[in-house]
Structure 1
Amino acid sequence: MKNLKGLTQKEAEKIFEEYGANELKEIVKVSLLKILIRQIKNNFIIYLLFVAMFLSFFVNKSVTAYTILAVIILVISTGFFQEYKAEKAIAALKKMIMPVSIVIRDGKEIEIFSKNIVPGDILILRTGEKIPADCLILESKELRVNESVLTGESQEMKKVEATSERNYKRENQLFMGTLIINGRCVVKVLRTGMNTEFGKIAGMISTAEKELPLQKKVNGITKYMVFVALTVSILTGIVMLIRSVPLSPELIIEVLIVVIALSVSAFPEGFPVVLMTTLASGAYRMAQKNAIVNRMSIIETLGETTVICSDKTGTITTGEMTVKKIFCDNKLFEISGAGYEATGDFSYNGKNINVQKNNSLNLLLKAGALCNDSKIERKGTDNEYSMRGTPTEAALLIASAKAGIFRDDLHFLREGEIPFNSERKIMSVAIKEKRENYVYSKGALEILLKNCKFIQREDGIFTLLERDKKQIMKMNQELASKSLRTLAIAYKKIKSPDKDYFEKELVFLGLVGMEDPPREEVKEAIKLCYTAGINVKMITGDNKETAMAIAKQINLKKGEILEGWELDELSDKELFKVVKNTVVFARVKPEHKLRIVKALKENGEIVTMTGDGVNDAPALKESHIGVAMGIGGTDVTREVADLTLKDDNFVTIVSAIKEGRTIFNNIQKFVTYQLSCNYAELFIIFFGILLGLPLPLLALQILFMNLVTDNLPAITLGFNPSSQDVMNKKPRKKSHILEKKLIYLIIIAGTIIGVITLGVFYFVLNVLNQELVVARTTALVTLIFFEIAHAFNFRSFRKRVLNRSPFVNKYLVYASLISLLATFLIIYTPLNKVFETSPIGWLNLLIAFVASLIIIFVFDIMKVKKGDLSQEK
């Protein structure tokens, strides 16, 4: 690389003040006013309440009218604050993973947030990265870019470095938002933010919000309930009018107000907002556990996952590689130490050796350091390093450092290279050292060995014989069987950096065996997957022996193992038959991943697939849930993925699936609870009128109950924590939120609550011979107690109320206390005149309390007899 010092930090700060952050303005930013308008615009209930308010004014019931106005304000405020909270949570999620870039400032390579890039900055970009600004190419190697985001054309564009910083063409530029498909480059930033080509286009675009699948399901339920509520309310009104002949205008208006109040109470108007709040809070909980949801729509699908196809390196394993063994010149050397600490000894046959006195080993370590795009940087004054790049290359740099070989101390010039990719599985560089030219190569043994004609010995270079190859292959298998990832290294002296001759007739230097141990927690996570009915398949580019050794360590189920070459020989029909019983895929290429996903989907599986490289993008897109790596992944994969792991950990995927199941369960709980309460309210009024009883509840009482005692507990059910048994069930099949069993629960619960509340009303009125206002108040309190008690039934579909601490969901406890406090305020304070209630004695309260416990006992008995109330047998 040319001697590029870049901007100084002070210069960058001054330019930043002038141009601002390298960000695009949010085109679809939801303002507070927009959220407020949304509460009114599409809310049929608000219009009905306004009608009721004007009717109340018309018949001189100003107290009722003002109370309804207060209800309208409360409905709008509740919806506004819930939606605002959901929007804030979603906005926070978007900031969880901030793009970073490598920039040269004050002559040093540093990592900064891409939003802090300024015009004039020098950037280093590599394969898989999204270009953060409009740039001029100063240096490039095999650079190809996808500019479809700007041009609409998906074909790759070849890019070359500019010969001048004043006169340049499109082929010398990179544009914000486009993707590097191959190669690497050094660039100078020309334009940032809204001044970029992408920024100009973005300024002319507005993106419509898409409705989530879950939203469609909930909206479908809402529309159906609106129809039912209106029908029952109108029928109730007709019965009331028939019984009230002769009619007066005041009476008709009073009946209309009751009909409106009943309709409002039966409308599940809070569903859409509660849904978004539940999804947003669930996604935020996932983010706290290192799983960033890129698309809300996948939360539902997470709980349906039947197969996880996971990369091995960095996801199942730690991804922090350490060179443990080197096979060189027919000798197997061992290296002590672990991780990124450059302290360790080299030994042969149990005795420490001096690497500097071993020519072939010294040359291999030097080759590993030079054929390398990664970087290690010392942390403080000790021998611990941090790495930037790939774990494999970092391990080679650390191994070299243990031998006292530091790349920065070597005097060399890189004159050419052929980058590694998943097809070639080799990387080669042309290096000029003093006046000599060399090629250094590293890669998969089976590929590199074919290109080797010679072998390096301690006493010189010799022809590579067939017996040498057999011995090397045997050692490769031996290292792999011990869970070591193997890498072959070769070199040769050349006259000039001619790429056509780079990788021919190489001199074989040796094999490197790297340890990448499984994460300690993975074994338990895989066991949990099997308990939850989820199969796990490990996919790796490593050879068969290494893959099998790791699979054994993490207790993967016994099954078939397929290698990439075997996949190539299988037809799609043949793969369809064997893919389900295959647990390990070794020596896999990205295009194999795509075939694996398709075959599993054809088998009816719901597939979660991980990926990190550029070429993994098609497989991630094809899977039901594409999972990208936040640490080791590329911008390309993060762009198409549904979920990004901040810690690249397999356990995080399992946690996300658990959270996905919990969120869907919570949605089912609040929908079932809310509808059973709405059904009970309709039942009480309709059958009370039909049986010739006085109106059991008045309009304002119905509205109060709907807002305060219905909605508050329902909202908090969305915050139910994960139950311990959520991963003891098989994956949920694609289904509606309301399955048959839940509809039966709604009918059973609503009928019990309705019948008993009506019974209490009748008992107080006709048996205890108390006044109508007292009977109504007792019925109101009974219904409120019922709804609070019933909410506790829905903390779990399986566990009995009496077997769980009330504070499992503390928000439900708080909501219940607020509901009770509000209820007592409208009964035992002057507010009782507004709501037409009356203070009631301890006997009435006791009747209401005892009656409400029935719903808990009924549901607890059902849970004991039937187990999970949400699933069909």
Structure 2
Amino acid sequence: MADQGEQASGMLLGSSKFIAKEELIKLVDTYMDRKFDEEITKIEECGGIDSFQEFLGVEFNTGLKTADINEERINAFGSNKKEEKKNDTFCELCWDALGDKILRILLVMGTLSLIIGATLEKHPEYAWIEGFAILMAVFIVVMVTSTNNYFKQKKFSELKNEHKNRALITVLRNGEYFSMHPSEVLVGDVVKLVQGEIIPADGILLKAQRLQTNESALTGENDNVDKEGHEECLKRLKEWMKKGTRAEGDHAKREIPSPIVISGTNVVEGSGEMVIIAVGQYSKEGRISGLAEQDEEMTPLEIKLEHLADRISGLGLGAGIFVVLILWLRFVIELGTGANEWDTGDSITDLIYAVIVGITVIAVAIPEGLPLAVTISLAYSVRKMQKEQNLVKRLHACETMGGADCICSDKTGTLTKNVMEVQRYSVDGSVYDQPRFKSLFEKHEDYFAFLKDAICLTSAARLEKNKKNDTVEIGSKTELAMIKMLVSLGHDDYMQIRQNVQKSVLVTNPFASKRKRGSVIVGYSEDLVRIYVVGASEYLVKSSKRQLSLDATQVDIDEDRRQSLKKDIETMAGQGLRTLGIAFKDLAADEMDKLNEFDKKGVPVLEKNGLTLLGIFGIYDPPRDEVTKAIQDCKTAYIKVRMVTGDNPITALAIARSIGIADDNSIAMIGEDFRKEVGGVICEECKTELCDCPRNSKNAGDKKVRNDVVGNFDSFKRIIGHLDVLARSQPEDKYTLVTGLKQMGSVVAVTGDGTNDAPALRKANVGFAMGIAGTELAQEVADIILLDDNFSSIVKAVKWGRSIYDNIQRFIQFQLTVNVVAVTCAIVGAVTVKQSPLMAIQLLWVNLIMDTFASLALATEPPTDALLKRRPHNLTDFIITPRMFKHIFGQAIMQVSILFALFYAGEYFIPEYGSGKRILYNPKSEDHVRSGRDYHFDGEKDYYDYSSDPDIGPSRMMTFIFNVFVLFQLFNEINSRKLLDEWWILGNICHTWLFMGIWFFTFGVQVIMVQVGSWAMGCHLDGLTVEQWFICIAWGFVPIVWRFLIILIPFKTKIQIDDNKPASHLASSIHKGSQSLKRHVTSNYNP
């Protein structure tokens, strides 16, 4: 063996009797760098596929023996127990959270404020608190974000582990097939591959039946790759060599199928057997970590908020610099006019104070509450959505669903219960109901024997008992329906029938969506080779020449009988039944050489004609109880739902009508016709279906990344308005539909459960994978996993998506009002009297504590059904609507006006009560408070000396102003719950207990701050009197009254929307119009 290998190809022995693993790795890499046939040639240079039995120490017909499974093999080739990608630690998640631009700005500002406050401020004993509190705000955001991400990745890990426990593969050992976990396989193991499986390791195919894999995780290319056993590949290569023609570019490497299959890729169609040549860290998947991972992009909402924050921060920076320059200019003018004299200590302090005021203005302007509001809203929503059966994998999906205007949904298991039952059976010109099955088949035993064999051998479904003695259903639900029918008739020996012919099975062609059929060929004897076929009824009727009558004789299918069969199909389909044909054919001697011949669509040529039809099943899969209401909710929410299914178009349309997706004007198109009509999917740049353009930027280099578009966009636009059901569809049809809808500007959500659905799930704005029926790849690429496989859970996701968007808008409306008022006060006050009406520490309380509480209160408003009564928002819309602008600036103008009136003339109308050293009255008006401004307009000192007097302390007038300002924000927080000019602002407030609790808690803390905050909060040492508190609360009500006046102000939106026109009108109107299209589509359906 060694000599042969070394002489032929330079392959080297490892440290043991086996071939060196490095040589096997080179073989895999040869395939990955394939230009045409390099890996096939390399295998032949090694002595052919049989030589690998010696290289790997295995016999292909028996698999590894017990004695072969030892440490020597593991030491030579490694183990397939892959090191799982560890979840990020909490510290790593915290570091990731600090990557947010706004948080980095806040870190810098907080640090500067902390240093300046502790060293240069007039009262450093508490001035440091401002910077510290900003840093605490950053800490809170980071903690909330990290905690949310931690629990999200933990839940997804649990789901993946649950899938891994179910993901067993079939391995040949000691001449028998066993089910085992992929981590247990070794180099040399012979493994069966079936549709839907993820290939556990690198290997060479020994045999394959129409096997295709999807290698997008490695290459980014969504196209399926044909695979064949090595001997078949060699045969194809020799045939090509006789022709001598070769395709160009990337097409050449797919011209001859390859026998090499790669770990981590997926079997999307067919079946086969492989011998494993590389496992674990030495496999291709192991050597390239994170191939299937995607960087989590910024969400659309985060992008909008970052742009908003950048604008606000830019304005704040400009305002801060403006204040510093004005204060310095005023200082210079006062020196020049003699109004002020240079004193080194005081003058330098004044100059530094100007910088502090500027920094304060910048700090106030920065919307530090925004990231916290987004974080809280997403964390709250994701947690709640999980309880409603939506496991969110990518946060952008939450927001994007709020803008979704189109949902492309699978039927089986999503719109229906996926609990299938045979209810009708068409045979010999009659249709029988389920209650008559037993008497029918007992009376016609010979016929039933044919039918029973056909059912048992064309399916792999089975019923088993678990440890609790409960019946467990394994396999396709459609196949299970037929198996359960047999069991209900007292025939539970289906496994025995399969075992009896196991060694006689010549070819198995698994059911494939592309062919709409599956088959098995059994060689009972040299004289009797029979093919059993099960599949789409209309296709089998078309392929059948005869029908087996109930007396077990074959009769020709003449035109009358064929029309009768078509009528039976249409009748059952019109009742919402899935129709499934079953047939057989005894092969003639001259057909034996065609066992592995297929047409262009992958249909075995032996199945295309000459079949004997046994009958047609009518299988019922009832709609989910809640799906009709969910569909109606989507219509009300202006969301178009389209059904994408593999069913007969009449069946699909009947079910679509029964649940409200379709009406009498709706049409169903067959997937193949739809694809042809719209020209399929092509590269936008090359205008061809196949091209050399890379699929992602990772593999692009200098090339332009391919962007898929539909080939005939005008035709797509003409069709799509009338299309409610896409029937007999294949995964590429769903991909074409999603591509076209996105090209039209729609925000598309799509559901998928199969491996073949991965491209469409990736392409959609939001991909929903099934948590129960979904394959591992479908769940891997999806944005949200439906834990209950239920369509109504998608509608809940829509509500939460819209709620998140609204909640952020609520907070922005509140936050920007606070910021506009605070910044205006700081600028005008500093410029006019060298003092803001609000001290830095007071602004901090508003900016930090109230923003934190407000974000928690406003960002956790639960969704209501009212959210489903309006159109979805557009992803390109500015997040601040005209209505919001109206309320933000309307409230800001009112608040600034009142605060300046209090600041500049409060000593004339703010009443004072009591007596004592700390109670100072206005000399000009003995019933009112003394002015609390540090300076007069001319720069002369006013309250300045009192404010630093330990026996008197901060001004009561300024305390009153601070309290009014906070109460303005508290009452405006109630206003901010409403975004649409609603008159009744307390709507649903009793259901938002969190909002109510936080509001009263904030009010309580404000009372404490004012009454006992004293020096630390810049408040009067005795706080405010009861009478003054009542006056402040009365002022606090003004924003609510003022809101009613703002509502009356007209405004113009960019898009006029008639909210009174029901969605059903829109939904029905798009079905009316082109009757020629309807006739064209209907005429193309010919069962």
Say yes or no: does 1:85 pair with 2:147: yes
Aligned to 2:510: 419
Q: 1:133 to 1:742 in 2, by over 3 A?
A: farther
Alpha-carbon contact 1:630-1:644 (below 8 Å) kept = yes
Q: CA deviation at 1:509?
A: 0.5
Q: 1:459 to 1:214 in 2, by over 3 A?
A: closer
Q: Distance in 2 between matches of 1:205 and 1:149?
A: 5
Q: CA deviation at 1:486?
A: 0.4
Aligned to 2:991: 808
Whichever residue aligns with residue 463 of structure 1, its letter is: D
Q: CA deviation at 1:615?
A: 4.1
- Between stretches 649-658 and 817-826, larger displacement belongs to 817-826
Q: CA deviation at 1:131?
A: 3.1
Aligned to 1:726: 867
Aligned to 2:1065: none
Write the deviation string for residues 505-539 of structure 1: whole angstroms up to 9, x where unpaired: 22211101101111111111111111111222223
Write the deviation string for residues 223-259 of structure 1: whole angstroms up to 9, x where unpaired: 1111222222333444555566336111222232232
Q: Distance in 2 between matches of 1:787 and 1:649?
A: 43
Q: Distance in 2 between matches of 1:195 and 1:323?
A: 49
Alpha-carbon contact 1:797-1:868 (below 8 Å) kept = no
| Structure 1 segment 156-555 matched on structure 2, within 5 A | 156=225, 158=227, 160=229, 174-185=261-272, 194=281, 196-202=283-289, 210-241=297-328, 245=334, 246=340, 248-336=347-435, 346-347=437-438, 352-353=439-440, 355=442, 357-378=444-465, 385-403=471-489, 404-410=491-497, 411-413=500-502, 414-432=505-523, 437-457=529-549, 458-494=551-587, 498-500=595-597, 502-503=606-607, 504-555=609-660
Whichever residue aligns with residue 632 of structure 2, its letter is: K
User: Could you tell me which of 634, 649, 667 is aligned with 1:561?
Assistant: 667
Give 3-state SS (helix, strand or coil) of 1:570's partner: helix
Aligned to 2:1010: 827
**TM-score relative to the length of structure 1:** 0.86
Give 3-state SS (helix, strand or coil) of 2:412's partner: helix
Write the deviation string for residues 618-671 of structure 1: whole angstroms up to 9, x where unpaired: 444444333333333334444444333222222122221121111111122222
Q: 1:41 to 1:190 in 2, by over 3 A?
A: farther
Write the deviation string for residues 780-809 of structure 1: whole angstroms up to 9, x where unpaired: 222222222222223332455653354533
Q: CA deviation at 1:108?
A: 9.6
**TM-score relative to the length of structure 2:** 0.70
Aligned to 1:53: 114
Q: CA deviation at 1:173?
A: 6.0
Q: CA deviation at 1:323?
A: 0.6
RMSD: 4.0
- Between stretches 210-219 and 636-645, larger displacement belongs to 636-645
Whichever residue aligns with residue 512 of structure 2, its letter is: N
Say yes or no: does 1:848 pair with 2:1032: yes
| Structure 1 segment 56-71 matched on structure 2, within 5 A | 56=117, 57-58=119-120, 61-71=123-133
Say yes or no: does 1:710 pair with 2:851: yes
Q: CA deviation at 1:602?
A: 4.9
The structure whose Rg is larger is: 2
Q: CA deviation at 1:124?
A: 5.9
Aligned to 1:23: 84
Alpha-carbon contact 1:85-1:277 (below 8 Å) kept = no
Q: 1:50 to 1:536 in 2, by over 3 A?
A: closer
Q: 1:708 to 1:151 in 2, by over 3 A?
A: closer
Aligned to 2:248: none
Q: Distance in 2 between matches of 1:610 and 1:33?
A: 33
| Structure 1 segment 463-862 matched on structure 2, within 5 A | 463-494=556-587, 498-500=595-597, 502-503=606-607, 504-558=609-663, 559-564=665-670, 566-567=673-674, 570=677, 572=712, 573-689=714-830, 692=833, 695-734=836-875, 735-762=877-904, 764-767=906-909, 768=911, 769-771=928-930, 772=932, 773-798=955-980, 803-804=986-987, 806-829=989-1012, 831-838=1013-1020, 839-859=1023-1043
Q: 1:69 to 1:303 in 2, by over 3 A?
A: closer
Q: 1:93 to 1:216 in 2, by over 3 A?
A: farther
Q: Distance in 2 between matches of 1:36 and 1:589?
A: 41
Alpha-carbon contact 2:369-2:848 (below 8 Å) kept = no
Q: Distance in 2 between matches of 1:402 and 1:37?
A: 62
Aligned to 1:340: none
Q: CA deviation at 1:428?
A: 0.7
Q: 1:577 to 1:781 in 2, by over 3 A?
A: same
Whichever residue aligns with residue 780 of structure 1, its letter is: F
Q: Distance in 2 between matches of 1:137 and 1:280?
A: 47
Whichever residue aligns with residue 445 of structure 1, its letter is: S
User: Could you tell me which of 193, 198, 214 is aligned with 1:130?
Assistant: 198
Alpha-carbon contact 1:27-1:203 (below 8 Å) kept = no
Aligned length: 847
Q: Distance in 2 between matches of 1:756 and 1:723?
A: 36
Write the deviation string for residues 421-443 of structure 1: whole angstroms up to 9, x where unpaired: 23321111123558854311011
- Between stretches 429-438 and 775-784, larger displacement belongs to 429-438
Give 3-state SS (helix, strand or coil) of 1:439's partner: strand
Q: Distance in 1 between matches of 2:481 and 2:291?
A: 48
Give 3-state SS (helix, strand or coil) of 1:803's partner: coil
Say yes or no: does 1:94 pair with 2:164: no
Give 3-state SS (helix, strand or coil) of 2:719's partner: helix
Q: 1:228 to 1:465 in 2, by over 3 A?
A: same
Q: CA deviation at 1:191?
A: 6.8
Q: Distance in 2 between matches of 1:729 and 1:303?
A: 11
Q: Distance in 2 between matches of 1:171 and 1:574?
A: 38
Q: Which runs of 5+ in 1 are unaligned?
A: 164-169, 337-344
Q: CA deviation at 1:400?
A: 1.8
Q: CA deviation at 1:718?
A: 1.8
Q: Distance in 1 between matches of 2:1043 and 2:447?
A: 76
Q: 1:481 to 1:601 in 2, by over 3 A?
A: same
